[in-house]
Structure 1
């Protein structure tokens, strides 16, 4: 199943016969030929493999040298913040403090690894039952500074950029704090703090205007305003923000998510679990000592509102490629060097009926689970069906950048392609020229 599409690539749901799931991102073909991108992508993939901690979806496998570079991260069976706000409305104050606490802790983990996320926005925040999870770090930096002229692709999300990012200045961890402030304002009101639209006008407001925080609860607005200070050196640290949020949550005592939203997330997780049980033949093979076949599946939208199972496809045989299948009829919204040498660049073959893979064939890891889960393993992902789709993208439409921002998109974003997040849509991140004269 295609989970979505952003400015950097398409995201698919990957599964093994045992029901283990990951989110697999295929980099847009327009970026593959950009000079230096593949090398930067490989470098960032190595860096993000070190990021593993509370509130992050760790990268578990990647292949920068594939025909279409890809990476796989732990799958979180919950909606994005953008989708949740669009469907259920702005979050109540108790949930806002929980959101701040979780995202601040996630940024602590990212920054402690020496990275800057660079693209903190509502569609990169997933909501699980126990906390928010920050995703998609690493790829944005790989494309940052690349010459994308002629590709039709743009990088970044104007409505959630920091002033220094909008002006093309050096980006530090403080930039992520500013972006966090814009996300918090969006969660509280359903709109960006610098208005709608896109392009130079929006970037100008981010650089020169004060944020509009009307509608944000008073006690929470003071903290958001500190995050949105223009000077990077005056913004609070993620650690200080988390301490403040935890103090507010102790005084409140409410659950981190409102009941209707929590129920919707629980139903989605249960549906995914049921699909895992139905596809457990591979897991039985594991227990019997027979290596399972790593697969990637599509989803049946009639069975669940989020990622679903579909016919299982086995890993293809590289030695006997066949023509790829046609592109799927509907579009839709992310990361590291694998533990073994990368295979040679070649066009992925068409998926074939299920058959056993070699004894060393890995399985894809399990979906994201709340903290406390142990025994995480780094495993390979066989791309099968999605790789075939990528081959068609290259052969049939290498430069297609058509599309316009869909309805219900995040405020202040532009898109080079349609975006699909579960059953709702949000636009691709974009970078626009600096508003400086």
Structure 2
């Protein structure tokens, strides 16, 4: 952090930093807020700096929803947990550096940490190879050991709470007291005793470790996904699906996923077993490197994971963060890689499906086959045509999801796609729409009805009707998964009649729009 004047500093900020809205705070505790990272189930996370400190540290400062902290006993428990977490080794877990559970709203500050969430990495690039998978397994076990050594259980271990950086995996987002919604949103990753009401424990973390490693190896939860009432019975039956897991790890993983917590291995056993697997499966001799066996494993196997680079920004410390780009978002070159910032609380939602009745879209815009789309028709304020994906999603696994309302560009030049009959690329199609409002946020219902045309979830296919409306059915959760890494999507969305508990609108139906082929 270099000083430009008494009231101005230069810092590196996350490439997906969102400008502050009028209702956002400009200061939290001693920190000057410079942008918003995103919001989730338990609160909102901001990027901030401390004007009194001359280091180059940008912090992630999270404000907690007061509704989760309704009584004195919960506040006392929160203070004790945050105080203990602050003492955990920061090499494996990102601890709070400051907090105030008695503020209005309560807040905690953590070091800004760059990396890629495991959930996003696997969904974009596929399961990890055996060497990197074993390194992940050992690194996570080491991180859990650091927590357990401090008398703490993580309590909410799942792929979105694991950050992959160049030096290895790091744990994020321990469970917080007062968060009654965690059991529902994390159902597929929690041990059976947690679903029966038991508190977080080391044995339950071992179960979560097994679920996460299976996901990293296969791209799916060992007990499948769905609503809690669908997933919990499968967990209770104790029959995980380990198809696709490397054979050398299957016996260990099966033990970690035992229904009876007394039959699960200890973390010491897990680390010993993973190191043994690595040594036995590697024919080449490794040169000696300093550090523990886990450090040596990571040194040899943890290659090729790049952290998104920060962007330089001048910050004015006069109570209002300014930028020469106005309300435009600061975008990095690797727009598909969304930064995960460390914190306490959870930013992820398990993938869910539902057989519940689904809302149908309202009146749809008519899309001609000519290069210039027709003006969309909207009946009432509950339907809009929007652009997803031009801006990286700040919190791509729990949301909210950002979008911009758009309208056709009347005088757009003919797209090359009309010359040879092929559908346009996402960028060509997006260029034929202009923004008519600022960036906004909404929830997407996991069971929302989604009709894809080309770009959302069906690569290489085109599924449209004669007017260019998508016809390929997927769920809202499928679209949520896609928005973390996919191309831009132009879609008509339908909003629920009432806002959610967090005051954000909820999208209950989505239809992707694409001009019909002229061929």
Higher helix share: 1
1:68 aligns with 2:105: yes
Q: CA deviation at 1:216?
A: 0.8
**Contact 2:137–2:274 at 8 Å: present in 1 too?**
yes
Match of 1:57 in 2: 94
1:212 aligned counterpart, secondary structure: coil
Mapped partners of 1:236, 1:330: distance in 2: 40
Give the gaps of 5 or more residues in structure 1.
283-290, 309-328, 334-399, 425-437
1:248-397 maps to which residues of 2 (within 5 A)? 248-251=277-280, 252=282, 256=298, 263=304, 265-266=306-307, 268=308, 271-272=309-310, 275=311, 278-279=312-313, 300-305=330-335, 332-333=394-395
Q: Does 1:86 align with 2:109?
A: no
Residues 280 and 223 from structure 1, CA distance in 2 versus in 1: closer, same or farther, beyond 3 angstroms? farther
Partner of 1:312: none
1:14 maps to 48
* Aligned partner of residue 97 in structure 2, secondary structure: strand
Equivalent positions of 1:1-40 (< 5 A) are: 1=17, 2-15=36-49, 19-33=56-70, 36-40=73-77
Structure 1 residues 199 and 296: CA distance shift in structure 2, 3 A: farther
Larger radius of gyration: 2
Report SS of the residue matched to 2:306. helix
Match of 2:139 in 1: 102
Hey, what does 2:177 align to over in structure 1? 142
Give, in angstroms, the shift of residue 6 of structure 1: 3.4
After TM superposition, the score normalised by the length of structure 2 is 0.52
Gaps of 5+ in 2: 1-16, 18-35, 287-296, 340-390, 396-440, 451-455, 458-475, 487-519
The alignment yields a C-alpha RMSD, in angstroms, of 4.0
Give the deviation of 1:46 after TM superposition: 1.5
CA distance in 1, matches of 2:184, 2:271: 29
1:233 aligned onto 2:262: yes
Q: 1:158 to 1:257 in 2, by over 3 A?
A: farther
Look up the match of 2:388: none
Aligned to 1:265, what secondary structure does the other structure show? coil
Q: Which residue of 2 aligns with 1:124?
A: 161
Q: Which has the larger share of strand?
A: 2
Is this contact kept in 1: 2:248–2:277, CA < 8 A?
no
Aligned pair count? 308
Structure 2 counterparts to residues 196-207 of structure 1, below 5 A: 196-207=225-236
2:251 matched to 1:222? yes
Who is 2:220 aligned against? 191
Residues 154 and 205 of structure 2 are in contact (CA less than 8 Å); yes or no, is this contact kept in structure 1?
Answer: yes
Q: How far off its partner does 1:66 sit?
A: 1.9
> If the length of structure 1 is used for normalisation, what is the TM-score?
0.60
Provide the residue aligned with 1:43 in structure 2: 80
The structure, 1 or 2, with the larger RCO (C-alpha pairs under 8 Å, 6+ apart) is: 1
In 1, distance between residues paired with 2:140 and 2:149? 14
Q: Which moved more, 1:6-15 or 1:224-233?
A: 6-15
**Quick check: 1:21–1:75 contact (8 Å CA) kept in 2?**
yes
Cα pair distance change 1:205/1:90, threshold 3 Å: same
Distance of 2:233 and 2:199 partners within structure 1: 17
* Structure 2 CA distance for aligned equivalents of residues 179 and 89 of structure 1: 20
